[in-house]
Structure 1
């Protein structure tokens, strides 16, 4: 299975390797996965009065570094297409290709955007991207991203070799982070192999940040909440890890 999902979001770039390895080593059918819980109520952005970030380098410097991550996570080289949200394969429905892509690609009009990726043990990955909007645009950007999720709770696609990929989006326990936050999960299945992604989207002033953790097994809730809290502190300029 080559290149299952480069276009379906930063979080799946490193995780694609897991599907490649697993599909090459075993063809046994996986048991039927339980249904995901429904998405919770959409979160509403908080009013913004602070000056938005307009410099992409400054925004990138406020994303988590390897010192903030669990041991054995390595930063991946920046891809030229990462922030553009380039995609290799279409999805059905087509708009669902936006799910897990960088926020700046999902919702155009950002003043600055940045992303970073880390690969970890056992085909796990942590992917973070952020986009800053004008104060009068951040609320609609936050709303639009959540609306896409609700139209894409189940969609499909194919990889570069026409092997079917199934995507399911479901709810997670909502996080208390930043000025406003929402959380969800994505289950990606192809050829009997499944990857689990837990994702938080958080507003910090005029900036929206997406933190996604992916692994071959369901992600523990504390992993996502701890990473998200650390990312919020960096965006707020709070010193410390």
Structure 2
């Protein structure tokens, strides 16, 4: 999917380079709504998760996803920014959409999973569990970064310039607290869009992102978020 730290993955780079993105020129796309107010984290009343493997087992698998999505090999850089990433302007915006543990230090456990789908679509999920006194700071810091990066620039894997826009996104409540946003990445008039939910579930903060070369149905993100929250809560079933 689109990630600011390595602004476009291989699939996204091929998509933009080959002209398979949105057929609508970027200039004709509507402006994104501004981000909403920063959402405060809820009080934490459960013990934090300290085992990364156990946290990984509670993330969604391909059995939980729409047909056509395949799980990719595990990431080796959970909690860190990918090496060799192209710089962004402003520089701090390179952290947008990187794993939460890389955005806010101090996680006791971290995990991530990625899925490739049809037509260059993708689903990325990562989670980080924090001590009680760090959850509020982590949840707020991720949101504050987005508001400082509503418009930034970077480059894809082949050094082609990419412009990023971040805007607000309405989503139904989920977990203990939820903040959501959308991102648009444009290069040479072609566009990829991401819809993202950042959810607090007890001491864990999870990021669910859906990316596609066309508009992402908000219902897809909310449905995935709901199932992911249930899994983190230890609730079996869809």
TM-score band, normalised by shorter chain: over 0.9
Q: 2:5 aligns with which of 4, 7, 12?
A: 7
Quote the residue 1:55 is aligned against.
Answer: 51
Task: Provide the C-alpha distance between the structure 1 equivalents of 2:123 and 2:171, rounded to a whole number of angstroms.
Answer: 19
TM-score (norm 1): 0.91
Q: In 2 relative to 1, CA 118–203 (structure 1 residues): closer, same or farther, beyond 3 Å? A: same
Quote the residue 1:38 is aligned against.
Answer: 34
Return the offset for 1:185: 0.2
Instruction: Summarize deviations over 1:163-216 as a string: whole Å, max 9, x none.
Output: 111000000013300000010000001122100000000000000000000000
TM-score (norm 2): 0.92
Secondary structure at 1:92 match in 2: coil
Q: In 2 relative to 1, CA 6–137 (structure 1 residues): closer, same or farther, beyond 3 Å? A: closer
* RMSD of aligned residue pairs (Cα, Å): 2.1
Q: In 2 relative to 1, CA 29–140 (structure 1 residues): closer, same or farther, beyond 3 Å? A: closer
Contact in 1 for aligned 2:181/2:195 (Cα 8 Å)? yes
Q: In 2 relative to 1, CA 29–130 (structure 1 residues): closer, same or farther, beyond 3 Å? A: closer
Contact in 2 for aligned 1:182/1:200 (Cα 8 Å)? yes
Return the offset for 1:26: 7.0
Task: Provide the C-alpha distance between the structure 2 equivalents of 1:4 and 1:221, rounded to a whole number of angstroms.
Answer: 17
Matched, 1:113 2:110: yes
Q: In 2 relative to 1, CA 21–151 (structure 1 residues): closer, same or farther, beyond 3 Å? A: closer
- Kindly tell me the number of residue pairs found equivalent between the two proteins: 235
Q: 1:24 aligns with which of 6, 18, 24?
A: 18
- Which range moved further: 154-163 or 221-230? 154-163
Matched, 1:208 2:205: yes
Contact in 1 for aligned 2:88/2:153 (Cα 8 Å)? yes
- Which range moved further: 80-89 or 171-180? 80-89
Contact in 2 for aligned 1:5/1:89 (Cα 8 Å)? no
Quote the residue 1:80 is aligned against.
Answer: 76
- Which range moved further: 75-84 or 92-101? 75-84
Secondary structure at 1:137 match in 2: helix
Return the offset for 1:78: 1.4
Task: Provide the C-alpha distance between the structure 2 equivalents of 1:236 and 1:61, rounded to a whole number of angstroms.
Answer: 12
Return the offset for 1:49: 1.8
The answer for unaligned runs of 5 or more in structure 2 is none
Return the offset for 1:6: 7.3
Quote the residue 1:141 is aligned against.
Answer: 138
Q: 2:228 aligns with which of 231, 234, 237?
A: 231
Secondary structure at 2:133 match in 1: coil
Task: Provide the C-alpha distance between the structure 1 equivalents of 2:113 and 2:54, rounded to a whole number of angstroms.
Answer: 13
Q: In 2 relative to 1, CA 178–193 (structure 1 residues): closer, same or farther, beyond 3 Å? A: same
Q: In 2 relative to 1, CA 126–207 (structure 1 residues): closer, same or farther, beyond 3 Å? A: same
The answer for unaligned runs of 5 or more in structure 1 is none
